Protein backbone atom coordinates (compact mmCIF):
# COMPACT_ATOMS: atom_id res chain seq x y z
CA UNK A 1 0.00 0.00 0.00
CA UNK A 2 1.34 3.45 -0.88
CA UNK A 3 2.10 5.83 1.96
CA UNK A 4 -0.65 8.26 0.92
CA UNK A 5 -3.23 5.46 0.70
CA UNK A 6 -2.08 4.14 4.08
CA UNK A 7 -2.54 7.58 5.65
CA UNK A 8 -6.04 7.86 4.16
CA UNK A 9 -6.96 4.39 5.39
CA UNK A 10 -5.58 5.06 8.85
CA UNK A 11 -7.38 8.40 8.93
CA UNK A 12 -10.68 6.80 7.98
CA UNK A 13 -10.12 4.07 10.55
CA UNK A 14 -9.36 6.63 13.24
CA UNK A 15 -12.47 8.64 12.39
CA UNK A 16 -14.52 5.46 12.57
CA UNK A 17 -13.02 4.60 15.96
CA UNK A 18 -13.73 8.11 17.23
CA UNK A 19 -17.31 7.89 15.99
CA UNK A 20 -17.86 4.47 17.55
CA UNK A 21 -16.25 5.66 20.75
CA UNK A 22 -18.55 8.67 20.87
CA UNK A 23 -21.59 6.41 20.54
CA UNK A 24 -20.17 3.97 23.09
CA UNK A 25 -19.85 6.79 25.62
CA UNK A 26 -23.44 7.91 25.05
CA UNK A 27 -25.09 6.24 28.04
CA UNK A 28 -28.39 7.97 27.27
CA UNK A 29 -28.47 6.43 23.77
CA UNK A 30 -27.89 2.97 25.24
CA UNK A 31 -30.80 3.42 27.64
CA UNK A 32 -33.19 4.43 24.86
CA UNK A 33 -32.46 1.10 23.14
CA UNK A 34 -33.64 -0.89 26.18
CA UNK A 35 -37.34 -1.51 25.60
CA UNK A 36 -37.86 -2.61 29.18
CA UNK A 37 -37.47 1.03 30.20
CA UNK A 38 -38.98 4.32 29.01
CA UNK A 39 -36.14 6.80 29.39
CA UNK A 40 -37.04 9.60 26.94
CA UNK A 41 -40.16 11.69 26.50
CA UNK A 42 -40.94 9.89 23.23
CA UNK A 43 -39.05 6.65 23.94
CA UNK A 44 -35.94 7.39 21.84
CA UNK A 45 -33.83 10.11 20.25
CA UNK A 46 -35.87 9.81 17.05
CA UNK A 47 -39.23 10.64 18.70
CA UNK A 48 -40.81 7.44 17.35
CA UNK A 49 -42.98 6.45 20.31
CA UNK A 50 -42.21 2.86 19.22
CA UNK A 51 -41.50 -0.12 21.47
CA UNK A 52 -40.38 -3.63 20.53
CA UNK A 53 -42.34 -5.09 23.45
CA UNK A 54 -44.88 -7.65 22.24
CA UNK A 55 -46.17 -9.56 25.26
CA UNK A 56 -49.42 -7.64 24.86
CA UNK A 57 -50.54 -8.39 21.31
CA UNK A 58 -53.57 -8.47 19.06
CA UNK A 59 -54.49 -11.94 20.29
CA UNK A 60 -54.67 -11.08 23.97
CA UNK A 61 -55.17 -7.31 24.23
CA UNK A 62 -58.86 -7.89 24.96
CA UNK A 63 -57.73 -9.34 28.32
CA UNK A 64 -55.83 -6.23 29.41
CA UNK A 65 -56.96 -4.93 32.82
CA UNK A 66 -56.16 -1.98 35.06
CA UNK A 67 -53.13 -3.07 37.11
CA UNK A 68 -52.75 0.02 39.31
CA UNK A 69 -53.31 3.76 39.37
CA UNK A 70 -51.74 6.73 41.12
CA UNK A 71 -53.58 10.01 41.78
CA UNK A 72 -51.15 12.90 41.43
CA UNK A 73 -53.06 15.19 43.78
CA UNK A 74 -53.01 17.91 41.12
CA UNK A 75 -55.80 19.06 38.81
CA UNK A 76 -55.73 20.42 35.23
CA UNK A 77 -54.09 19.09 32.08
CA UNK A 78 -51.59 16.25 32.49
CA UNK A 79 -49.67 16.10 29.21
CA UNK A 80 -46.55 14.05 28.45
CA UNK A 81 -45.61 10.67 29.93
CA UNK A 82 -43.73 9.38 32.97
CA UNK A 83 -40.25 7.89 32.72
CA UNK A 84 -39.27 4.38 33.84
CA UNK A 85 -35.61 3.96 34.79
CA UNK A 86 -34.82 0.52 36.18
CA UNK A 87 -37.43 -0.26 38.84
CA UNK A 88 -38.53 3.34 39.36
CA UNK A 89 -41.27 5.34 37.65
CA UNK A 90 -40.94 9.13 37.66
CA UNK A 91 -44.23 11.02 37.36
CA UNK A 92 -44.68 14.76 36.79
CA UNK A 93 -47.78 16.90 37.25
CA UNK A 94 -49.38 20.05 35.91
CA UNK A 95 -48.55 23.24 37.85
CA UNK A 96 -46.94 23.31 40.41
CA UNK A 97 -44.98 20.56 38.57
CA UNK A 98 -44.55 18.11 41.44
CA UNK A 99 -42.38 15.05 40.81
CA UNK A 100 -42.89 11.59 42.32
CA UNK A 101 -40.48 8.66 42.19
CA UNK A 102 -42.45 5.42 42.61
CA UNK A 103 -40.79 2.12 43.60
CA UNK A 104 -42.20 -0.53 41.25
CA UNK A 105 -40.79 -3.23 43.55
CA UNK A 106 -42.90 -2.08 46.51
CA UNK A 107 -46.38 -1.57 45.07
CA UNK A 108 -45.54 1.90 43.79
CA UNK A 109 -44.45 3.22 47.18
CA UNK A 110 -43.22 6.81 46.95
CA UNK A 111 -39.40 6.72 47.14
CA UNK A 112 -39.13 10.49 47.08
CA UNK A 113 -41.07 13.53 45.95
CA UNK A 114 -40.13 17.02 44.86
CA UNK A 115 -42.44 20.00 45.34
CA UNK A 116 -41.24 23.15 43.53
CA UNK A 117 -41.81 26.54 45.13
CA UNK A 118 -43.27 28.59 42.30
CA UNK A 119 -45.04 31.93 42.34
CA UNK A 120 -48.74 31.16 41.67
CA UNK A 121 -48.92 34.20 39.38
CA UNK A 122 -46.94 32.21 36.78
CA UNK A 123 -50.17 30.40 35.96
CA UNK A 124 -51.50 33.55 34.27
CA UNK A 125 -48.71 33.23 31.68
CA UNK A 126 -49.77 29.72 30.60
CA UNK A 127 -52.05 30.43 27.67
CA UNK A 128 -53.26 26.88 27.16
CA UNK A 129 -53.65 25.37 30.63
CA UNK A 130 -51.21 24.61 33.45
CA UNK A 131 -49.46 21.86 31.53
CA UNK A 132 -45.99 20.37 31.76
CA UNK A 133 -44.91 17.86 29.10
CA UNK A 134 -42.63 15.68 31.14
CA UNK A 135 -39.19 14.92 32.48
CA UNK A 136 -35.73 14.16 31.12
CA UNK A 137 -33.09 11.71 32.32
CA UNK A 138 -29.32 11.39 32.03
CA UNK A 139 -26.13 11.28 34.10
CA UNK A 140 -28.07 9.90 37.08
CA UNK A 141 -30.29 12.98 37.11
CA UNK A 142 -33.99 13.65 36.56
CA UNK A 143 -34.55 16.98 34.78
CA UNK A 144 -37.66 19.08 35.38
CA UNK A 145 -38.49 22.22 33.40
CA UNK A 146 -40.75 24.16 35.75
CA UNK A 147 -43.44 26.47 34.38
CA UNK A 148 -41.63 29.46 35.90
CA UNK A 149 -38.62 28.97 33.62
CA UNK A 150 -36.42 27.15 36.13
CA UNK A 151 -34.63 24.03 34.86
CA UNK A 152 -33.90 21.69 37.77
CA UNK A 153 -31.57 18.67 37.98
CA UNK A 154 -32.55 16.16 40.68
CA UNK A 155 -30.61 13.15 41.91
CA UNK A 156 -32.55 10.22 40.43
CA UNK A 157 -32.02 8.07 43.52
CA UNK A 158 -32.73 10.59 46.28
CA UNK A 159 -34.54 13.56 44.72
CA UNK A 160 -31.88 15.94 46.01
CA UNK A 161 -31.48 19.08 43.90
CA UNK A 162 -28.11 18.98 42.13
CA UNK A 163 -28.37 22.27 40.28
CA UNK A 164 -30.89 24.67 38.77
CA UNK A 165 -30.80 27.48 36.23
CA UNK A 166 -33.25 30.15 35.06
CA UNK A 167 -34.09 29.66 31.38
CA UNK A 168 -36.58 32.48 30.66
CA UNK A 169 -37.72 35.78 32.18
CA UNK A 170 -41.31 35.51 33.40
CA UNK A 171 -41.48 39.30 33.86
CA UNK A 172 -41.50 39.55 30.05
CA UNK A 173 -44.38 37.04 29.83
CA UNK A 174 -42.22 34.01 29.05
CA UNK A 175 -42.88 30.59 30.56
CA UNK A 176 -41.84 26.99 29.98
CA UNK A 177 -44.10 23.99 29.40
CA UNK A 178 -41.87 21.61 27.42
CA UNK A 179 -40.17 18.43 28.54
CA UNK A 180 -36.39 18.88 28.78
CA UNK A 181 -34.69 16.52 26.32
CA UNK A 182 -31.34 14.89 27.14
CA UNK A 183 -29.13 14.25 24.11
CA UNK A 184 -25.65 12.92 24.82
CA UNK A 185 -24.11 15.43 27.26
CA UNK A 186 -26.65 18.23 26.75
CA UNK A 187 -30.05 19.11 28.23
CA UNK A 188 -32.12 20.94 25.62
CA UNK A 189 -35.06 23.06 26.69
CA UNK A 190 -37.38 25.65 25.22
CA UNK A 191 -39.52 28.73 25.68
CA UNK A 192 -43.23 29.62 25.53
CA UNK A 193 -44.80 33.05 25.32
CA UNK A 194 -45.65 33.94 21.74
CA UNK A 195 -49.01 35.25 22.97
CA UNK A 196 -47.10 37.68 25.19
CA UNK A 197 -44.79 39.00 22.50
CA UNK A 198 -41.80 37.08 23.84
CA UNK A 199 -38.81 36.60 21.55
CA UNK A 200 -38.26 32.91 22.10
CA UNK A 201 -35.23 30.65 21.76
CA UNK A 202 -33.96 27.15 22.37
CA UNK A 203 -31.19 26.51 24.88
CA UNK A 204 -28.70 23.70 25.49
CA UNK A 205 -27.15 23.24 28.93
CA UNK A 206 -24.23 21.06 29.94
CA UNK A 207 -25.60 18.07 31.83
CA UNK A 208 -22.88 18.07 34.50
CA UNK A 209 -23.28 21.55 35.96
CA UNK A 210 -26.10 23.38 34.14
CA UNK A 211 -23.80 25.85 32.41
CA UNK A 212 -25.18 27.25 29.15
CA UNK A 213 -23.63 25.58 26.10
CA UNK A 214 -25.49 27.63 23.49
CA UNK A 215 -28.73 29.50 22.80
CA UNK A 216 -30.42 30.06 19.45
CA UNK A 217 -33.17 32.64 18.97
CA UNK A 218 -36.14 32.21 16.62
CA UNK A 219 -35.87 35.76 15.25
CA UNK A 220 -33.22 38.45 15.00
CA UNK A 221 -29.79 38.68 13.34
CA UNK A 222 -27.99 35.56 12.15
CA UNK A 223 -25.44 35.90 14.96
CA UNK A 224 -28.25 35.33 17.50
CA UNK A 225 -30.24 32.79 15.50
CA UNK A 226 -26.91 30.93 15.12
CA UNK A 227 -26.93 30.90 11.33
CA UNK A 228 -23.57 30.60 9.58
CA UNK A 229 -22.11 30.42 6.07
CA UNK A 230 -23.16 26.80 5.37
CA UNK A 231 -26.79 27.27 6.39
CA UNK A 232 -29.22 25.83 3.81
CA UNK A 233 -26.26 25.03 1.59
CA UNK A 234 -28.20 22.52 -0.54
CA UNK A 235 -31.43 24.57 -0.50
CA UNK A 236 -30.43 28.26 -0.54
CA UNK A 237 -33.95 29.21 -1.68
CA UNK A 238 -35.14 28.48 1.88
CA UNK A 239 -33.25 31.66 2.73
CA UNK A 240 -35.23 33.92 0.38
CA UNK A 241 -36.03 37.50 1.31
CA UNK A 242 -39.73 37.12 0.46
CA UNK A 243 -41.68 34.17 -0.89
CA UNK A 244 -44.87 36.09 -1.74
CA UNK A 245 -45.91 39.09 -3.78
CA UNK A 246 -48.76 41.23 -2.47
CA UNK A 247 -52.18 40.96 -4.10
CA UNK A 248 -54.67 43.83 -3.65
CA UNK A 249 -52.55 45.45 -0.96
CA UNK A 250 -51.31 42.36 0.85
CA UNK A 251 -51.65 43.34 4.52
CA UNK A 252 -54.91 45.24 4.03
CA UNK A 253 -58.51 44.10 4.07
CA UNK A 254 -59.25 42.26 0.83
CA UNK A 255 -55.56 41.72 0.20
CA UNK A 256 -53.69 38.45 -0.02
CA UNK A 257 -50.42 36.95 -1.17
CA UNK A 258 -49.33 35.09 -4.28
CA UNK A 259 -46.55 32.54 -4.00
CA UNK A 260 -43.48 33.34 -6.06
CA UNK A 261 -41.96 30.53 -8.15
CA UNK A 262 -38.45 29.47 -7.26
CA UNK A 263 -36.86 31.37 -10.16
CA UNK A 264 -38.38 34.63 -8.84
CA UNK A 265 -37.09 34.25 -5.28
CA UNK A 266 -34.21 36.43 -4.09
CA UNK A 267 -31.75 34.23 -2.22
CA UNK A 268 -29.70 33.56 -0.23
CA UNK A 269 -30.08 36.55 2.08
CA UNK A 270 -28.56 37.11 5.51
CA UNK A 271 -30.23 38.34 8.70
CA UNK A 272 -33.68 37.30 7.54
CA UNK A 273 -34.78 37.16 11.17
CA UNK A 274 -34.66 40.98 10.98
CA UNK A 275 -35.29 41.83 7.31
CA UNK A 276 -38.56 39.85 7.02
CA UNK A 277 -40.26 41.85 9.79
CA UNK A 278 -41.34 44.97 7.91
CA UNK A 279 -43.17 48.19 8.79
CA UNK A 280 -45.79 49.11 9.92
CA UNK A 281 -45.44 47.48 13.32
CA UNK A 282 -47.23 47.96 16.60
CA UNK A 283 -43.80 48.29 18.22
CA UNK A 284 -40.44 49.58 17.04
CA UNK A 285 -38.99 46.29 15.77
CA UNK A 286 -41.33 43.36 15.33
CA UNK A 287 -38.58 40.75 15.47
CA UNK A 288 -37.70 41.84 19.00
CA UNK A 289 -41.06 40.42 20.10
CA UNK A 290 -41.20 37.77 17.40
CA UNK A 291 -42.65 34.78 19.25
CA UNK A 292 -41.29 31.59 17.71
CA UNK A 293 -41.96 29.44 20.78
CA UNK A 294 -40.03 26.18 21.18
CA UNK A 295 -42.31 24.33 23.61
CA UNK A 296 -42.73 21.10 21.66
CA UNK A 297 -40.71 17.93 21.27
CA UNK A 298 -37.12 17.64 20.02
CA UNK A 299 -35.25 14.83 18.25
CA UNK A 300 -31.59 13.99 17.63
CA UNK A 301 -29.54 12.00 15.11
CA UNK A 302 -26.27 10.96 16.81
CA UNK A 303 -24.62 9.99 13.51
CA UNK A 304 -25.20 13.42 11.99
CA UNK A 305 -24.94 15.11 15.41
CA UNK A 306 -27.99 17.15 14.46
CA UNK A 307 -30.97 17.95 16.67
CA UNK A 308 -34.34 18.89 15.19
CA UNK A 309 -37.21 21.03 16.45
CA UNK A 310 -39.92 23.42 15.29
CA UNK A 311 -40.65 27.06 16.15
CA UNK A 312 -44.05 28.56 16.88
CA UNK A 313 -46.20 31.46 15.71
CA UNK A 314 -44.87 34.98 15.21
CA UNK A 315 -45.63 37.47 17.98
CA UNK A 316 -49.21 38.80 17.89
CA UNK A 317 -51.92 36.98 15.96
CA UNK A 318 -52.70 40.14 13.98
CA UNK A 319 -50.72 39.67 10.74
CA UNK A 320 -51.36 43.19 9.43
CA UNK A 321 -48.91 44.76 11.90
CA UNK A 322 -46.01 42.50 10.86
CA UNK A 323 -45.71 42.46 7.03
CA UNK A 324 -43.15 40.06 5.62
CA UNK A 325 -42.37 36.37 5.99
CA UNK A 326 -41.56 36.77 9.72
CA UNK A 327 -38.61 34.41 9.76
CA UNK A 328 -37.67 32.29 11.62
CA UNK A 329 -41.04 31.63 13.21
CA UNK A 330 -42.98 28.57 11.89
CA UNK A 331 -39.69 26.90 11.00
CA UNK A 332 -38.12 23.45 11.30
CA UNK A 333 -34.47 23.75 12.29
CA UNK A 334 -31.66 21.19 12.27
CA UNK A 335 -28.77 22.25 14.52
CA UNK A 336 -25.38 20.88 15.48
CA UNK A 337 -25.82 19.60 19.02
CA UNK A 338 -22.37 20.72 20.16
CA UNK A 339 -22.43 24.28 18.83
CA UNK A 340 -26.08 25.09 18.14
CA UNK A 341 -25.22 26.29 14.62
CA UNK A 342 -28.09 25.76 12.20
CA UNK A 343 -27.45 23.24 9.42
CA UNK A 344 -30.76 23.92 7.69
CA UNK A 345 -34.07 25.63 8.30
CA UNK A 346 -37.37 25.51 6.41
CA UNK A 347 -40.30 27.85 7.09
CA UNK A 348 -43.63 26.04 6.69
CA UNK A 349 -46.08 28.93 7.07
CA UNK A 350 -44.44 32.19 5.96
CA UNK A 351 -46.27 35.25 7.32
CA UNK A 352 -48.59 33.15 9.47
CA UNK A 353 -52.12 34.53 9.55
CA UNK A 354 -53.80 31.83 11.67
CA UNK A 355 -51.56 30.87 14.66
CA UNK A 356 -50.41 27.63 13.02
CA UNK A 357 -47.58 26.97 15.49
CA UNK A 358 -44.86 24.89 13.85
CA UNK A 359 -43.52 23.29 17.04
CA UNK A 360 -44.89 19.75 16.60
CA UNK A 361 -42.44 16.87 16.82
CA UNK A 362 -40.07 15.84 14.03
CA UNK A 363 -39.83 12.05 13.76
CA UNK A 364 -36.60 10.58 12.35
CA UNK A 365 -36.67 7.40 10.27
CA UNK A 366 -34.93 5.71 7.35
CA UNK A 367 -36.35 4.31 4.12
CA UNK A 368 -35.02 3.45 0.66
CA UNK A 369 -31.48 4.29 1.72
CA UNK A 370 -32.41 7.82 2.82
CA UNK A 371 -32.24 9.50 6.22
CA UNK A 372 -35.67 11.06 6.59
CA UNK A 373 -37.60 13.34 8.94
CA UNK A 374 -41.38 13.63 9.01
CA UNK A 375 -43.42 16.40 10.63
CA UNK A 376 -47.19 16.73 11.01
CA UNK A 377 -47.79 20.46 11.20
CA UNK A 378 -50.57 22.48 12.73
CA UNK A 379 -51.18 24.04 9.30
CA UNK A 380 -52.61 20.73 8.04
CA UNK A 381 -49.71 19.56 5.88
CA UNK A 382 -47.50 16.55 6.56
CA UNK A 383 -43.89 17.09 5.50
CA UNK A 384 -41.10 14.62 4.80
CA UNK A 385 -37.52 15.84 4.40
CA UNK A 386 -34.09 14.47 3.72
CA UNK A 387 -32.89 15.18 7.24
CA UNK A 388 -29.24 15.49 6.22
CA UNK A 389 -29.84 18.72 4.29
CA UNK A 390 -33.52 19.72 4.57
CA UNK A 391 -34.56 18.90 1.00
CA UNK A 392 -38.37 18.77 0.95
CA UNK A 393 -39.57 15.46 -0.50
CA UNK A 394 -43.28 15.36 0.38
CA UNK A 395 -45.80 17.98 1.51
CA UNK A 396 -49.43 16.85 1.41
CA UNK A 397 -52.62 17.67 3.29
CA UNK A 398 -53.43 15.31 6.15
CA UNK A 399 -57.11 15.91 5.48
CA UNK A 400 -58.72 17.64 2.52
CA UNK A 401 -60.72 19.99 4.78
CA UNK A 402 -57.60 22.16 5.29
CA UNK A 403 -58.37 25.16 3.06
CA UNK A 404 -56.04 28.08 3.89
CA UNK A 405 -53.66 26.81 1.16
CA UNK A 406 -54.28 24.66 -1.89
CA UNK A 407 -50.85 23.00 -2.01
CA UNK A 408 -47.13 23.37 -1.32
CA UNK A 409 -44.75 23.87 -4.24
CA UNK A 410 -42.03 21.25 -3.73
CA UNK A 411 -39.52 23.17 -5.86
CA UNK A 412 -39.78 26.39 -3.85
CA UNK A 413 -41.20 24.95 -0.62
CA UNK A 414 -43.80 27.74 -0.56
CA UNK A 415 -47.49 27.11 0.28
CA UNK A 416 -50.02 28.45 -2.23
CA UNK A 417 -52.45 30.44 -0.09
CA UNK A 418 -56.15 30.68 -0.91
CA UNK A 419 -57.03 34.40 -0.75
CA UNK A 420 -60.54 33.64 0.54
CA UNK A 421 -59.07 32.70 3.91
CA UNK A 422 -56.58 35.51 4.48
CA UNK A 423 -57.07 37.36 7.78
CA UNK A 424 -56.97 41.10 8.40
CA UNK A 425 -57.49 43.56 11.21
CA UNK A 426 -61.17 44.16 12.09
CA UNK A 427 -62.32 41.67 9.44
CA UNK A 428 -64.03 38.49 10.64
CA UNK A 429 -62.76 35.76 8.31
CA UNK A 430 -65.10 32.76 8.34
CA UNK A 431 -64.82 29.06 7.61
CA UNK A 432 -61.04 28.77 7.98
CA UNK A 433 -59.83 25.19 8.28
CA UNK A 434 -58.07 24.09 10.35
CA UNK A 435 -58.60 26.25 13.41
CA UNK A 436 -55.66 27.67 15.31
CA UNK A 437 -55.50 24.30 17.09
CA UNK A 438 -54.24 22.90 13.81
CA UNK A 439 -54.99 19.55 12.22
CA UNK A 440 -52.56 18.28 14.86
CA UNK A 441 -51.35 20.15 17.93
CA UNK A 442 -48.75 19.09 20.52
CA UNK A 443 -50.10 15.53 20.84
CA UNK A 444 -47.24 13.52 19.31
CA UNK A 445 -47.61 10.93 16.56
CA UNK A 446 -45.71 7.62 16.50
CA UNK A 447 -43.83 5.65 13.84
CA UNK A 448 -43.51 1.87 13.43
CA UNK A 449 -40.47 0.62 11.50
CA UNK A 450 -42.33 -2.67 11.24
CA UNK A 451 -45.32 -1.34 9.29
CA UNK A 452 -43.48 1.69 7.88
CA UNK A 453 -46.47 3.86 8.87
CA UNK A 454 -47.06 6.85 11.12
CA UNK A 455 -49.96 6.93 13.57
CA UNK A 456 -51.38 10.40 13.95
CA UNK A 457 -53.95 11.87 16.40
CA UNK A 458 -55.94 14.64 14.76
CA UNK A 459 -58.07 17.72 15.36
CA UNK A 460 -60.95 18.23 12.94
CA UNK A 461 -61.84 21.82 13.85
CA UNK A 462 -62.46 25.00 11.85
CA UNK A 463 -62.79 28.64 12.96
CA UNK A 464 -63.72 32.24 12.46
CA UNK A 465 -60.79 34.59 13.02
CA UNK A 466 -60.78 38.35 13.56
CA UNK A 467 -57.49 40.18 14.18
CA UNK A 468 -57.83 43.32 16.28
CA UNK A 469 -55.57 46.18 17.29
CA UNK A 470 -53.47 45.29 20.31
CA UNK A 471 -50.68 47.29 21.97
CA UNK A 472 -47.60 45.53 23.28
CA UNK A 473 -47.04 45.80 27.04
CA UNK A 474 -44.26 43.71 28.56
CA UNK A 475 -45.62 40.79 30.56
CA UNK A 476 -49.20 41.25 29.32
CA UNK A 477 -51.12 39.13 26.76
CA UNK A 478 -50.55 40.31 23.19
CA UNK A 479 -52.84 38.05 21.19
CA UNK A 480 -54.45 40.59 18.89
CA UNK A 481 -57.27 38.35 17.68
CA UNK A 482 -60.56 36.78 18.67
CA UNK A 483 -61.83 33.48 17.31
CA UNK A 484 -64.52 30.87 17.57
CA UNK A 485 -64.13 27.16 16.85
CA UNK A 486 -66.51 24.53 15.52
CA UNK A 487 -66.50 21.00 14.16
CA UNK A 488 -65.13 20.46 10.65
CA UNK A 489 -67.18 19.43 7.60
CA UNK A 490 -67.37 15.77 8.72
CA UNK A 491 -69.36 16.84 11.77
CA UNK A 492 -66.80 15.59 14.31
CA UNK A 493 -63.93 17.35 16.08
CA UNK A 494 -61.25 14.70 15.77
CA UNK A 495 -59.79 11.69 14.03
CA UNK A 496 -56.97 9.19 14.06
CA UNK A 497 -55.07 7.93 11.04
CA UNK A 498 -52.24 5.81 9.71
CA UNK A 499 -50.07 7.77 7.26
CA UNK A 500 -47.68 6.74 4.49
CA UNK A 501 -45.06 9.50 4.64
CA UNK A 502 -43.42 8.68 1.31
CA UNK A 503 -46.67 8.68 -0.63
CA UNK A 504 -48.18 11.51 1.40
CA UNK A 505 -51.55 9.89 2.01
CA UNK A 506 -53.52 8.17 4.74
CA UNK A 507 -53.79 4.38 4.76
CA UNK A 508 -56.76 4.31 7.12
CA UNK A 509 -58.69 6.97 9.01
CA UNK A 510 -61.08 6.80 11.98
CA UNK A 511 -63.37 9.58 13.13
CA UNK A 512 -63.38 10.75 16.76
CA UNK A 513 -66.14 12.76 18.45
CA UNK A 514 -63.55 15.10 19.98
CA UNK A 515 -59.95 15.92 19.10
CA UNK A 516 -57.63 12.98 19.75
CA UNK A 517 -55.37 14.87 22.16
CA UNK A 518 -53.42 11.93 23.59
CA UNK A 519 -49.92 11.10 22.32
CA UNK A 520 -49.45 7.77 20.56
CA UNK A 521 -47.63 4.52 21.38
CA UNK A 522 -47.08 1.82 18.75
CA UNK A 523 -45.55 -1.59 19.49
CA UNK A 524 -43.93 -4.40 17.50
CA UNK A 525 -47.08 -6.48 18.03
CA UNK A 526 -48.85 -3.96 15.76
CA UNK A 527 -50.87 -2.34 18.51
CA UNK A 528 -51.52 1.39 18.65
CA UNK A 529 -52.49 3.03 21.95
CA UNK A 530 -53.86 6.55 22.52
CA UNK A 531 -56.37 8.40 24.71
CA UNK A 532 -59.35 10.65 24.03
CA UNK A 533 -60.93 13.70 25.62
CA UNK A 534 -64.07 11.73 26.50
CA UNK A 535 -61.99 9.51 28.81
CA UNK A 536 -61.26 6.49 26.61
CA UNK A 537 -57.88 4.77 26.40
CA UNK A 538 -57.83 2.66 23.22
CA UNK A 539 -55.86 -0.02 21.42
CA UNK A 540 -56.14 -0.31 17.64
CA UNK A 541 -54.84 -2.74 15.04
CA UNK A 542 -51.91 -0.87 13.47
CA UNK A 543 -52.56 -2.42 10.06
CA UNK A 544 -56.31 -1.83 9.79
CA UNK A 545 -57.30 0.74 12.41
CA UNK A 546 -59.82 -1.66 13.92
CA UNK A 547 -60.54 -0.98 17.59
CA UNK A 548 -59.47 -4.00 19.66
CA UNK A 549 -59.82 -2.74 23.25
CA UNK A 550 -60.76 0.32 25.29
CA UNK A 551 -61.00 1.35 28.91
CA UNK A 552 -62.64 4.48 30.32
CA UNK A 553 -60.44 6.36 32.78
CA UNK A 554 -61.46 9.05 35.27
CA UNK A 555 -60.73 12.17 33.21
CA UNK A 556 -60.01 13.03 29.60
CA UNK A 557 -56.61 12.02 28.25
CA UNK A 558 -54.11 14.60 27.01
CA UNK A 559 -51.12 12.50 28.11
CA UNK A 560 -48.94 10.24 25.98
CA UNK A 561 -49.19 6.45 26.08
CA UNK A 562 -46.02 4.56 27.09
CA UNK A 563 -44.93 1.00 27.91
CA UNK A 564 -42.30 -0.85 29.95
CA UNK A 565 -41.68 -4.20 31.64
CA UNK A 566 -41.27 -5.06 35.31
CA UNK A 567 -40.26 -8.52 36.48
CA UNK A 568 -40.86 -9.87 33.00
CA UNK A 569 -44.37 -8.45 32.60
CA UNK A 570 -45.34 -5.78 30.08
CA UNK A 571 -47.29 -2.74 31.25
CA UNK A 572 -48.92 0.05 29.26
CA UNK A 573 -49.62 3.38 30.92
CA UNK A 574 -51.09 6.81 30.33
CA UNK A 575 -51.68 9.97 32.34
CA UNK A 576 -55.27 11.21 32.50
CA UNK A 577 -56.41 14.65 33.59
CA UNK A 578 -58.19 16.73 30.96
CA UNK A 579 -56.76 20.07 29.93
CA UNK A 580 -54.48 21.59 27.36
CA UNK A 581 -55.97 24.06 24.91
CA UNK A 582 -59.03 21.88 24.30
CA UNK A 583 -59.84 21.68 28.01
CA UNK A 584 -58.55 24.94 29.46
CA UNK A 585 -61.88 26.80 29.24
CA UNK A 586 -63.72 23.89 30.89
CA UNK A 587 -61.12 23.72 33.67
CA UNK A 588 -61.58 27.43 34.36
CA UNK A 589 -65.38 27.42 34.03
CA UNK A 590 -65.31 29.81 31.03
CA UNK A 591 -68.48 29.87 28.93
CA UNK A 592 -68.34 32.68 26.35
CA UNK A 593 -67.79 31.30 22.84
CA UNK A 594 -64.47 33.11 22.41
CA UNK A 595 -63.08 32.33 25.88
CA UNK A 596 -60.00 30.15 26.13
CA UNK A 597 -58.93 31.41 22.67
CA UNK A 598 -62.08 29.82 21.23
CA UNK A 599 -61.98 26.56 23.19
CA UNK A 600 -65.01 27.40 25.36
CA UNK A 601 -67.40 27.36 22.43
CA UNK A 602 -65.75 24.62 20.43
CA UNK A 603 -65.43 22.11 23.28
CA UNK A 604 -68.44 22.97 25.45
CA UNK A 605 -69.76 19.39 25.18
CA UNK A 606 -66.75 18.07 27.09
CA UNK A 607 -68.57 18.91 30.33
CA UNK A 608 -70.94 16.01 29.58
CA UNK A 609 -68.04 13.54 29.89
CA UNK A 610 -65.70 15.23 32.39
CA UNK A 611 -65.69 16.78 35.83
CA UNK A 612 -63.80 20.04 35.93
CA UNK A 613 -61.08 20.70 36.69
CA UNK A 614 -59.70 17.36 35.55
CA UNK A 615 -57.94 15.33 38.21
CA UNK A 616 -54.50 13.91 37.37
CA UNK A 617 -54.00 10.14 37.54
CA UNK A 618 -51.42 7.69 36.24
CA UNK A 619 -53.24 4.64 34.83
CA UNK A 620 -51.25 1.43 34.29
CA UNK A 621 -52.56 -1.69 32.51
CA UNK A 622 -51.37 -5.27 32.02
CA UNK A 623 -52.61 -8.73 31.15
Question: What residues act catalytically?
Answer: 355
5: Cβ contacts below 8 Å, ≥ 6 apart:
none
Exposure b/e, 522-531, CB count within 10 A at least 16 = b: bbbbbbbbbb
d(CA 246, CA 452) in angstroms, rounded, equals 41
d(CA 321, CA 57) in angstroms, rounded, equals 54
Q: Verify cis geometry, omega within 30 degrees of 0, for the bond prior to 537.
A: no
d(CA 483, CA 422) in angstroms, rounded, equals 14
Alpha-carbon distances of 80 from 142, 157, 464, rounded to whole Å: 15, 22, 30
Q: Find, among 485, 497, 434, the residue nearest to 460 by Cα.
A: 434
Alpha-carbon distances of 245 from 174, 202, 256, 276, rounded to whole Å: 33, 31, 9, 13
What count of other Cβ atoms lies within 10 Å of the Cβ of residue 427?
A: 15
**What sign results for the dihedral spanned by CA atoms 366, 372, 375, 380?**
negative
What φ, ψ does residue 8 adopt, rounded to 5°? -65, -45
d(CA 612, CA 492) in angstroms, rounded, equals 22
Helix ranges (DSSP H) in 40-198: none
d(CA 377, CA 361) in angstroms, rounded, equals 9
Residue 618 near residue 575 (C-beta atoms within 8 A): yes
187: Cβ contacts below 8 Å, ≥ 6 apart:
136, 138, 143, 151, 153, 180, 181, 204, 205, 206, 207, 210
535: Cβ contacts below 8 Å, ≥ 6 apart:
552, 553, 554, 555, 556, 557, 576, 609, 610
Which residues are bridge partners to 291 per DSSP? 199
Listing DSSP states for 66-82 in one string gives: EEEEEEEEEES---B--
Amino acid sequence: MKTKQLKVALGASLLSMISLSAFADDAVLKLTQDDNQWTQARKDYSNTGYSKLSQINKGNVRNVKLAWSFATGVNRGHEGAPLVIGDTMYIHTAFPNNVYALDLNENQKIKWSYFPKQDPSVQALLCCDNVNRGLGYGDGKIFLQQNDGTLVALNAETGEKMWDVKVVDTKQGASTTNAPHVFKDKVVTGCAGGEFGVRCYISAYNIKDGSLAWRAYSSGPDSEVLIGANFNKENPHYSALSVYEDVNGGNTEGGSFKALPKDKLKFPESDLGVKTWLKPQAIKNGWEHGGGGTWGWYSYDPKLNLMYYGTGNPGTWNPDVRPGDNKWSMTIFARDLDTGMARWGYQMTPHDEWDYDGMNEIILWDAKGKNLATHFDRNGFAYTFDRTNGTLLVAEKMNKFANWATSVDLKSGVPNKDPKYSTHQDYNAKGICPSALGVKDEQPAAYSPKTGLFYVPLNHVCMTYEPVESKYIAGQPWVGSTLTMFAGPEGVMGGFMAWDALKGKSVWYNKEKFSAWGGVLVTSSDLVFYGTLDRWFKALDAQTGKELWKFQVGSGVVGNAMTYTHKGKQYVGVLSGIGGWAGVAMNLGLQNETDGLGAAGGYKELTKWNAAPGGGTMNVFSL
